[in-house]
Amino acid sequence: MVNSAWLRQHKITALTILAVAVLYYATARLGLLQQLVRDQVTPLWPPTGIALAALLLFGLRIWPGIAVGALVVNISIGPTTASVLAIVAGNTLAPVCSYLLLRRTGFHNDLDRLRDALALVFLGALGPMLISATVGSGTLVLSGALPADGFWPTWSVWWTGDATGVLLVTPFLLVLRHARWPRDVGLAEWAEAAALVACTLTVTLLATASGSSSLLFLVFPFLIWAAFRFERAGAAPCALGVSMLAILAAGRETGPFAHRDLLTNMVTLQAFNGSLSLTALLLAALITERNRTHEEIQRLCVQLANTVTRRDKESHPEPPER
């Protein structure tokens, strides 16, 4: 019986590792469609977000799936075998460090607290992704695949891609695991959700077609709308969709990303994505905390009222009937 349970547990772990590797590879191929440097550096790297989400959900034991997925992706595009191994090590170490830092701070996968949102942004995305960007860009320069003056532009794209993957994909997956088809939702709520989607897409497309980067921030009122009305289930998909449209514009060098050098575009894109994700996560967490506190107060009020009513009945019993 013990051996059977042990084998079943290891079989589940092996299948989970394989699934993570497959998802890593599949989303990496999608991310490479927007490559900007050497056919392998992209401003959106979804596998990093998937890797961190998998670590948070299944634990550190699935890290081989991240390494295998990164190896399969990079083995065909890396300059040398040693370079590929170094890049794989950086791509694996970055999300593992994010996971360890988040667990160290008591991170909740439900993203239902303000501290969880802040931790995911700074300890999950912006900080640890410096590892993969530095290791990957430095490896390409040292191997001769990039000139020395190409380090910082490549580094900026690499860091932007990995950090954006965590900022956008990880919250979306953590929210998606609790997604259920809404019940008892009226026509007004469906109409509001449709209006939110239509308005957000329209404003984002207009902003990314304009030559002014300041117009990108016109989408923030709609992000606030999504967070206030639909909490995490609205804020995470809204931020992901807006950011993807901005990344597509940056890859095509159109709109606010036209006629600028690569480093400037990546700084602008990362500032926008960071502000977008921070706003979405913080507002959604605040609204969730507020609603939870309100429900707890209501529960305590009902409990207190029931207690007072029961005590009143005990101290003033009804006279017996004659």
**Residue 94: predicted pLDDT:** 96
Domain count, the chain: 1
Q: Give which of 230, 20, 284, 263 is closest to 133, Cα–Cα.
A: 263
Q: What is the distance of C-alpha 168 from the center of its chain?
A: 3
Threshold 0.85, pTM exceeds: no
Task: Establish if 140 belongs to a structural domain.
Answer: yes
In a domain, 299, yes or no: yes
Query: Residue 162 sits in which domain range?
Result: 2-178+187-310
pLDDT at 40: 57
Contact between 86 and 74 (Cβ < 8 Å) = no
Which has the closest alpha carbon to 67: 91, 48, 98, 86? 91
Q: Mean pLDDT in runs of 10 for the chain (322 residues)?
A: 70 91 90 64 84 94 94 84 92 96 92 86 91 92 86 85 88 81 73 89 86 78 87 84 84 78 75 83 83 83 82 65 54
Q: Determine, yes or no, domain membership for 278.
A: yes
Question: What crossing angle do the helices spanning 81-104 and 129-142 adopt, rounded to 10°?
Answer: 170
Cβ atoms 35, 154 nearer than 8 A = no
Domain assignment of residue 322, yes or no: no
Residue 318 lies in a domain: no
Let me know: does 231 contact 284? Beta carbons within 8 Å.
yes
Cα 47–48–54 angle (5° rounding)? 85
Residue 316 lies in a domain: no
Q: Is residue 139 part of a domain?
A: yes
- Predicted pLDDT of residue 39: 56
Residue 321 covered by a domain: no
Residue type, 154: T
